[in-house]
Structure 1
Amino acid sequence: MKAKTTTAMAIQEKLTSYLIIGAGSFGASTALALKKAEPDAHITVIDRTPFPCPYAAAHDVNKICRGDYGDLMYMKLAIRSMESWTADPLYSRHFHNSGMLYAYDDAYLRTIIANWEAIYGEGNAPSHLLDLTDAKQRFGGIFENADWSAAERSLWSPQAERLKHSPVMALMATLPAESLPPGDDRVLKCMNDTGFSNNVYHEPSKQKLSIPPSKVSQLTWSQDMPQVLKDELRTIGQELHGGLLSKLVPTYYRMCWDGFTPNQDFIICAHPHAQNLYIVGGGSFHACEFLPVMGDIVVQMLRGELDGEMERRFAWDRPNDGHNSHFSTLQIEISVIYGVRRAFDRDST
């Protein structure tokens, strides 16, 4: 019996267990990748509510997956991720190829083209530049009356056999904005990509921290949003689609709260002081695009096999130069700029 007990204890010591806090894009992808890499491991995932958590940034309807990054590292990651989004049955049933039209400044669009050609060779970029007049006349003329006066050029990435709806739109004009085409639900989604902070004094750390409001209605789909933000979304809709939206009234709104790093690089690393504690976060409004590959990156980090550039850029103490999402999103204190502190009270109703 003693020998059997010793053997059982030895086996138990070899078994690995993981506790994952948060079941969003990072947590869910990590749990799946760990189970594939270590089938015998015991993995527990904890979240704020039963799955899916309606407060999570990943639980939304305005997720855009694209490869057009001005940053070459993220473009390569996006290509890997897109292979799963389009071919893996686990992900492809949730992915809709609509194509994407950018209306940005010329220099940024040329950077995207250069990155594509660095990967696929000169002249082989899957995206190409369009004159604004040409862009407005395409797609059945649905953007003919759109106000794109702030854009120099537009970039079209064909991803679908046939364009049944408008493409995803990204426009840098009065406000950084995006729009998703209506799917089978016939719901058009418009997004204001300006970033906000909601700073509240945190007594244990004696400093102000930006945290989401505690009111459930200000974390989920509702009408509970300051009027000034509703007005901005209406402006965005007009700039993107012209008079097509003049008679439409939004059914509901949502403010999407996410961990945002200074340069939109993720944090995927060991905690510098606590043993066996690892930080995976800082989604910065674009981690969801990499859901199929994010867990693999975490497993590589745990095994010490992370690519050198990723290890440096995803580290706890890395430099914060540059910006790596498609918008250089500003962090604006919402109560100061818009005077809506009373709208973001600490009521938990």
Structure 2
Amino acid sequence: MGASTAYYLKQQYPIAQVTLLDRTQFPCPLAAAYDLNKIIRAEYEDIEYMKLALEALEIWNVNYKALNLSSPAQLLDPNAAKARFGSIFRNSNWTGVEKCTYNPQAGWGDATAALQGVIQAAIDLGVEYRVATVAKVMFDMHGACTGAETTNGELLTAVNTVLCAGAHIAKILADSAPDRPEMHVGKRLVAAAAAMGAFRVPEDEMGKFEDALVLVQPLGKYPGETIPPRPRRLLKCTHELSFTHSIYHEASKQTISVPPECASQQTWRQDIPQGLKDEIQIVRNNIYGKYNETLEPEYYRMCWSDSHANLALAVHVRC
């Protein structure tokens, strides 16, 4: 969000000074967009999010260009779907599935490369990129935002400030204006995470995935999704049941969800709770059955973002 906002602002207002702040040199490995891959689709329950997805897909040369046009998606019988897309899903646990939605124009994109490309394109337009961690946004005596303060105490003033801090938004705003509840996110947003694992597929088993698709399986106790291992032989499985990490924010007298402070728990490592690792294995088993039961995750990650969803689980993540 921050990278694309900076890009389009500079594109629309070429003479404006646009500065993009992030915690590390780009692309920041702590960002949710720093990932093996992300699913690109328009099939979302939230109509506003679907509109944004369709707008983005139009840029990716998708054929249908407005909500009032027909979608290329098809409804398939589960058995027909398994037969159509090879044997990789033949042992999938599709209990309760009556129909499958297949969209030939959905897929996945290289998330990290895309993030890096957008930031570089913004810099090429003249956006200034600065390495800094935002601690607070600043306000004048009238309550108007005047810029940001970094964790090392540097004050950066701006006529307009756009806060695209994802899962950190709630805490930044609470730290910035603890006595102004109208500035807090309240029930509008919550910092939530999904656990994911990357399974290394042996070269001689890659043929199994020749016809494999991106699969989103939202049913049951362990809703999940998977993205095929091409081209780096890393099969990604995500447990889609979001969870929170709540703390009590003393200054603003409220409980908020925040990501863990440990960087190793937000990047591709082994450092996530065992319970989450077990859930990823269950997701893999539900999607692929015994087809890939010998594969072990090479990396795990808790991917944190801001969410509108109702969350069913809260965990305390220890460093």
Shorter-normalised TM-score: what interval? 0.5 to 0.7
Within 2, Cα distance between the matches of 1:30 and 1:130?
38
Within the alignment, does 1:330 sit opposite 2:311 as a pair? yes
Q: Structure 2: where are the runs of 5+ without partners? A: 108-208
Matched, 1:180 2:262: no
* Compared CA separation, residues 80 and 330, structure 1 to 2 (3 A): same
Rate the CA distance shift 1:197–1:71 in 2: closer, same or farther, 3 A: closer
**TM-score (ref. length: structure 2):** 0.62
Match of 1:143 among 89, 98, 112: 89
Deviation by residue 1:140-182 (Cα, 9 ceiling, x = unmatched) = 2221111111322111111389x94411101123312110111
- Secondary structure in 2 aligned to 1:79? helix
Are 1:117 and 1:125, in contact at CA under 8 Å, matched by a contact in 2?
no
Offset at 1:52? 1.3
What is the rounded CA distance, in whole Å, between the counterparts of 2:246 and 2:50 in structure 1? 33
AA partner of residue 227 (structure 2): L
Q: Does structure 2 retain, via aligned residues, the 8 Å contact 1:165–1:181?
A: no
- 2: CA distance, partners of 1:68 / 1:160: 9
Structure-2 change in CA distance of 1:195 and 1:160 (3 Å):
closer
SS in 1 for 2:270: coil
Select the structure that is richer in helix: 1
Letter in 2 for 1:152: E
Give the AA of the match of 1:61: L
Distance, in Å, in 2 between the alignment partners of 1:55 and 1:165 is: 32
Alignment match of 1:215 (pick from 241, 245, 262): 262
Question: 234, 249, 273: which one pairs with 2:296?
Answer: 249
2:11 pairs with 1:36: yes
Distance change in 2, residues 1:31/1:154 (3 Å): same
Which has the greater radius of gyration?
A: 1
Paired residues of 2:40 and 2:106 also in contact (CA < 8 A)? no
Q: Give the 3 Å change call, closer, same or farther, for CA 132–81 of structure 1 in structure 2.
A: same
Q: Distance in 2 between matches of 1:155 and 1:59?
A: 28
Deviations 1:62-98, CA, capped at 9 Å, x for gaps: 41110123344433332221122348xxxxxxxxxxx
Q: Structure 1: which 5+ runs fail to align?
A: 1-25, 88-115, 263-328, 336-343
Tell me the distance in 1 between the aligned counterparts of 2:53 and 2:265.
31
Normalising to structure 1: TM-score of the pair?
Answer: 0.57
Instruction: Give me the whole-angstrom Cα distance separating, in 2, the residues matched to 1:205 and 1:332.
Output: 24
Task: Report the Cα distance in structure 1 between the residues aligned to 2:273 and 2:18, rounded to whole angstroms.
Answer: 41
Aligned match of 1:167: 213
2:59 corresponds in structure 1 to 84
Aligned residue type for 1:199: S
DSSP-derived class of the 2:31 partner: coil
Deviations 1:245-298 (A, max 9, x none): 211000010001112235xxxxxxxxxxxxxxxxxxxxxxxxxxxxxxxxxxxx
**CA 1:51 to 1:125, structure 2 compared with 1: closer, same or farther past 3 Å?**
closer
- Whole-angstrom CA distance in 2 between matches of 1:261 and 1:174: 20
**Structure 2 match to 1:326:** none
Counterpart contact for 1:52–1:59, Cα < 8 Å: yes
CA contact (8 A) 1:151 1:173 kept: no
CA distance in 1: counterparts of 2:277 and 2:261, whole angstroms: 20
Q: Which residue of 1 aligns with 2:282?
A: 235
Q: What SS does structure 2 have at the residue aligned with 1:255?
A: strand
Q: CA RMSD in A?
A: 2.3
| Cα offset, 1:201, TM superposition | 2.0
Q: Could you say which residue in structure 1 is the equivalent of 2:104?
A: 158
Aligned pair count?
215
Equivalent-residue separation in structure 2 for 1:136 and 1:330 (angstroms): 31
Q: Following the alignment from structure 1 to structure 2, what is the Cα–Cα distance between the partners of residues 198 and 40?
A: 42
Contact 1:165–1:182 under 8 Å retained in 2? no
Classify 1:242/1:185 alpha carbon distance in 2 versus 1 (closer, same or farther; 3 Å): same
Matches within 5 A, 1:75-154: 75-86=50-61, 119-120=68-69, 124-154=70-100
Match of 1:222, SS? coil
1:96 counterpart residue number: none
Cα distance change, pair 50–192 in 1 and its aligned pair in 2 (3 A): same
Instruction: Say whether the 8 Å CA contact 2:54–2:66 is kept in structure 1.
Output: no
State the alpha-carbon separation in 1 of the partners of residues 24 and 42 from structure 2: 32
Displacement of 1:117 in angstroms is: 10
The answer to whether the Cα contact below 8 Å between 1:176 and 1:193 also exists between their aligned partners in 2 is yes
The correspondence for 2:36, drawn from 61, 85, 106, is 61
**DSSP-derived class of the 2:303 partner:** coil
- Could you report, residue by residue, the CA deviation over 1:222-261 in whole angstroms, capped at 9, with x for unpaired residues? 1111111111110100111111221100001000111223
Distance 1:241 1:86 in 2: 31
